[in-house]
Amino acid sequence: MAATTTAPTVPADLDALVRVGPRDELAPVTVVSGGRHGIAVFAVAGGERVYAVDNRCPHMGFPLHKGSVRDGILTCHWHHARFDLASGGTFDQFADDVQTYAVVNDDGIVYVDPRSHRADRVDHAKERLRDGLEQSINLVLAKNVLALLEAGVAPAEVLAIGGAFGARYREAGWRSGLTILTAMGNILPRLDPDDRVFALYHGLVNVARDCAGQPPRHPLDSLPEAATPPDRLKAWFRQFVEVRDSDGAERALLTAVTNDPAPAVLADLLASAGTDHAFLDGGHTLDFVNKARELLDLIGWEHAAAILPSLTPVLAASRRSEELNSWRHPVDLIALLDPVFARLDDLAARAGADPAWHASDEFIATLHGDDPAAIVAALTTALEVGAPPTAVTRAVSYAAALRVARFHTSNEFGDWITVLHTFTYANATHQLMRRSPSAALLRGVYHGALSLYLDRFLNMPAARLSHERPAGLETLPVEPGALLAH
């Protein structure tokens, strides 16, 4: 709170203060140099009480010396933000608390200490960032991301605040906002420092939007006895997800986290449940599992207990593609997979024997074909001859990316989302296979490839790739004589 002239306190470093003037001659408002933007000094009741605040409104910078004071409240006239003149606290959450400065009376002369009362700007900016998430106020988010990065705070700390908020304040669990936040975190090292603000802001805005108006998730505890073997916890977790019991799955997961396993163990537990059924929720679910793992790689796995439980309601509620007509008729794609999945352990044991294996053009063409049995056979043969699982997942991801590249604009926008989700699912399978390979995760390879098969008509007609297009302006003559000849 700003000091008043009624209780003079003269610091030893009086020379460090800014002189305002004689107390009995003060104007109702005076602007003096100091702080970052100048300091507005308000004399109330004829100078009986004097307050000093930063002259820039923390909302959008309007000069506060042009505001009005009534009943101890300073009002900025641009957007009507209101502040307690004594403490600087705002009554309007779209603004921020205005900085206050100590006022000193030395023998009738008023001085202002230009050093801000705000002791820890970083803590304040973090708190305001949370306020911006809670209130879904974009400007507050932008300003405090900028403040934190300018103060030298690591971007991972900003990601951790956004991740914890998104995981806690949406009862239905992980959603696209957290995925976007993680994607922005992934590209930060490749961005110029100034552009990192925009990336973090974009992710946080989407997290806040997802949580706006949603009930919070009430976290559960781990089991009282945390010494349960990991394999038992994994079996429990998959069984609870199977019967759509989110609470049971969360307690099993939290107990697994309490046991402090390697990140690959937790990723395998989640990915196994995420592939127990075909192409869950149109590919979203496994992508969310992978993005949660990527987020923890960015912010630290010590946050696992806060982040991972947000996946359990998603896993439990996901739509299972074997329940969809497109996966059952006219070709029963699930029936094609049953005999292959019965021998996954054998395929996993053979896979990787030939590290030099790579996907041929013929292999990619088969994945793009219209024969699902041939697609399943090609994948199975590749694993049988020793193809590394990551080489196969990379090939499926590449084939899915070609689907996106060849998507024609004559299709509907919703169709674009369909081919995009197949690609993100294939990429999630590949990224998870790189970090936590397992026989169970091989099912994701087949599910992704068959989703690719179902998308085949979305490349009819197929958009041409850049090297397939007719020659453009680059083939036209550039020499003056040649141009005149035309």
Under a CB-based contact definition with an 8 Å cutoff, are residues 104 and 13 in contact?
A: no
pLDDT of residue 9: 47
Mean pLDDT of 426-449: 97
Domain boundaries, the chain: 14-112, 121-211, 324-486
The size of the chain, in residues, is: 486
Four-way CATH pick for 121-211: 2.40.50, 1.20.272, 1.10.3470, 1.20.140: 1.20.272
> How far, CA to CA in Å, does 189 sit from each of 196, 297, 405?
9, 14, 26
pLDDT of residue 3: 42
Nearby residues of 226 by Cβ (< 8 Å), 6 or more positions away: 255, 258, 259
Instruction: For 269-317, write each residue's pLDDT tens digit.
Output: 999 999 999 999 999 999 999 999 999 999 999 999 999 999 999 999 9
Instruction: For 19-43, write each residue's pLDDT tens digit.
Output: 999 988 899 999 998 877 799 999 9
Q: Residue 94 burial (CB < 10 Å; 0-12/13-18/19+)? A: middle
- Model pTM score: 0.87
pLDDT of residue 304: 98
Instruction: For 373-396, write each residue's pLDDT tens digit.
Output: 999 999 999 999 999 999 999 999
Residue 481 clears pLDDT 80, i.e. is over it = no
Amino acid code (one letter) for 6: T
Start-to-end C-alpha separation, the chain: 79
In terms of Cα–Cα distance, which of 278, 276, 275, 254 is closest to 266?
254
**Percent of the chain with pLDDT strictly greater than 90:** 78
Instruction: For 221-272, write each residue's pLDDT tens digit.
Output: 999 976 889 999 999 999 999 999 999 999 999 999 999 889 999 999 999 9
Distance between CA atoms of residues 155 and 191, nearest Å: 12
Residue 138 clears pLDDT 80, i.e. is over it = yes
Residue 54 clears pLDDT 90, i.e. is over it = yes
pLDDT of residue 468: 76
Amino acid code (one letter) for 36: R
Instruction: For 94-114, write each residue's pLDDT tens digit.
Output: 888 999 999 998 888 999 998
pLDDT of residue 12: 47
Indicate the pLDDT class of residue 418, thresholds 50, 70 and 90: very high
CATH 2.102.10.10, domain 14-112, yes or no: yes
Residue 2 clears pLDDT 50, i.e. is over it = no
Indicate the pLDDT class of residue 475, thresholds 50, 70 and 90: low
CA angle 377–380–385, rounded 5-degree value: 120
